[in-house]
Structure 1
Amino acid sequence: MPLATTIKPHLPYLRRYARALTGSQTSGDAYVRATLEAIIADPDSLNSDGANKNVTPRVQLHKVFHRIWETSNVDPGNFDSDTSLAGNETIAKEDKLRKIAPIGRQILLLTALEGFSLEEVAQITNVEQDSVNGLLEDAITDIDQEIRTNVLIIEDETLISMELAQIVTDLGHTVSGTAITHTEALKEVARNKPGLVLADIQLADGSSGIDAVKDILEQFSVPVIFVTAFPERLLTGERPEPTFLITKPFQPNAIRAAISQAMFFTAEGHEIEAQS
């Protein structure tokens, strides 16, 4: 099978993981590009575990990414800077990125956000499988110590909105408001400024959650997590796109991981820029 055909289906989700890991579309996409360049330079790197039938192309692609992440001198600042819909596009140098992306958080994102098994995570990160679960538990414990905030939920499906609200409150955050349309979202923001936004893409009256978020970010900076049934449309790497993106139908742990990572970067003092 041609190399491009093998890689293509997995690239959007590698971008999602890389963006969540770095807290930046620009930084995450830069690491993905570096990964592709490494594979093109050495196609055998995608098959380095070919003798192990349990290592799928998706696992191997993430494994190459992690080797780049751990050892390369990729400087995302060398790439053109875009402003993401999720707002957080202040570019950090690689050494700072490593400080804010410990291995436990990498494991949390790989399992909760990307759905890898613990065995696959061990293969990707080159961590002993016996250690993976302990590191994962440490990352989950860290969530309990994170700052709490007010969360605006922009979602037109009542049951999904209720489920998101339950996850948010279980994490210790407060739901500042809910909205099912663009107009309602702006009214809720005017009534109570949120510290985090969870937004669907398509809303009840045919309006756009993306447009609602743009209008919110013009007023003030806030981390945003998009929830959509069509993530591939927002993971092309060709334009300003969300940093944090969850696929419908979602697992509660995926929402928890995304919220945790968004608040983690906020707590680290990253500047949040509004959509231009």
Structure 2
Amino acid sequence: MTSNTASAELSDTIGGELPYLRRYARALTGSQRTGDNYAAATLEAILQEPSIFERDIAPRTALFRAFHKIWSTAGAPTADTVDPVTRMESRALDHMSGLTNNTREALLLSTIEGFDFDEVGQIMGSDAEEARSLVDIAISEMEKSMTGKVMIIEDEAIIAMDIHSIVSELGHKITGIARTRTAAVELGAKDRPDLILADIQLADNSSGVDAVNDLLQQFGEIPVIFITAFPERLLTGERPEPAFLIAKPYSEEQVRSAVSQAMFFSSTESLKSEA
């Protein structure tokens, strides 16, 4: 087999996983720019040294394990603090330094990316028991970190109430539930949220993405979590993409994890810190 053929086969093997690696990298680092840089560095490393991509484990697991090696070797960096567009506020960085090592990585791999604990252990170079422990610690530490106000943009009543219940149990205040783009903008004008949870397709065929963009134009940077049956509409490779994108049907753990982490990284000054 020629090197060109091998490279083509490798590209085909990992190509379908790249949007999810980019999602994970953005959520892990707190920045689209920083996350994309390390996702790209992982691909370059694999092309230069194919052995980094371990063939004896599942391709998706092998890709994320390769990313883990590159990212951790670089010192497990978060957002570029010298970039005014993507940097996280110092408060978020201070909270990051207070987290138990590796907990957030394990949490994202398990709850957002859907790896089981054996796979999380393979990616991080540990075992399933340690991976489970790290996830439990992360959930506890992040849920206690901050509370704030959350807007829900969702046209299906049952789903909206389920999300309402999950988020409320975390200690956050729900500013309201909007079923359309217009209703979302009106709700935001009444009570500025610290976090937005949004579906993509709304009741009157309006767009949840457009509703979010309207709100961000009004308020500036607010963390957003999209919960949608159509994730491919957002995982396009174009900027900007959401750091947190949950596919329906979702689990309670996924919502709790994404909400806690989005609040954790938010620079909104109205957030109440519990640390």
Same fold by TM-score, threshold 0.5 exceeded? yes
What residue in structure 1 maps to residue 170 of structure 2?
A: 171
* One-letter amino acid of the counterpart of residue 15, structure 1: R
Contact 1:100 1:268 (8 Å CA) reproduced? no
Cα distance change, pair 244–99 in 1 and its aligned pair in 2 (3 A): same
SS in 2 for 1:226: strand
What residue in structure 1 maps to residue 258 of structure 2?
A: 258
SS in 2 for 1:116: coil
Tell me if 1:90 matches 2:97. Answer: no
Taking the TM superposition and a 5 Å limit, the aligned residue runs for 1:1-276 are: 2-47=9-54, 50=56, 55-72=57-74, 89-90=86-87, 99=97, 102-220=101-219, 221-266=221-266
Distance 1:146 1:6 in 2: 39
RMSD (Å) for aligned C-alpha atoms: 2.6
1:91 Cα deviation after fit: 6.5
Distance 1:29 1:115 in 2: 20
Distance 1:19 1:212 in 2: 22
Distance 2:33 2:242 in 1: 10
Distance 2:88 2:222 in 1: 16
SS in 1 for 2:245: strand
Distance 2:67 2:268 in 1: 24
SS in 2 for 1:165: helix
Deviations 1:117-152 (A, max 9, x none): 111111101124332222222112113312111110
1:82 Cα deviation after fit: 11
1:33 Cα deviation after fit: 0.8
Deviations 1:157-199 (A, max 9, x none): 1111111101101111111111010000011111111111001
**TM-score, reference length from structure 2:** 0.84
Identity of aligned residues (%): 48
Contact 1:26 1:82 (8 Å CA) reproduced? no
Cα distance change, pair 68–242 in 1 and its aligned pair in 2 (3 A): same
Distance 2:140 2:121 in 1: 20
After the TM superposition, which of the residue ranges 229-238 and 241-250 deviates more from structure 2?
Answer: 229-238
Deviations 1:93-120 (A, max 9, x none): xxx6974874111111111111111111
* One-letter amino acid of the counterpart of residue 165, structure 2: Q
What residue in structure 2 maps to residue 272 of structure 1?
A: none
* One-letter amino acid of the counterpart of residue 159, structure 1: I
SS in 2 for 1:203: coil
Distance 1:3 1:82 in 2: 36
* One-letter amino acid of the counterpart of residue 87, structure 2: T
SS in 2 for 1:115: coil
SS in 2 for 1:177: strand
1:7 Cα deviation after fit: 0.2
Contact 2:117 2:129 (8 Å CA) reproduced? no
Cα distance change, pair 75–105 in 1 and its aligned pair in 2 (3 A): closer
* One-letter amino acid of the counterpart of residue 67, structure 1: K
What residue in structure 2 maps to residue 274 of structure 1?
A: none
Cα distance change, pair 76–168 in 1 and its aligned pair in 2 (3 A): closer
Tell me which of the two structures has the higher relative contact order, counting C-alpha pairs closer than 8 angstroms and 6 or more residues apart: 1
Contact 1:12 1:232 (8 Å CA) reproduced? no
Distance 1:143 1:166 in 2: 18
Deviations 1:20-59 (A, max 9, x none): 1112222211111111111111122212x52xxxx20000
**TM-score, reference length from structure 1:** 0.84
Contact 1:29 1:237 (8 Å CA) reproduced? no
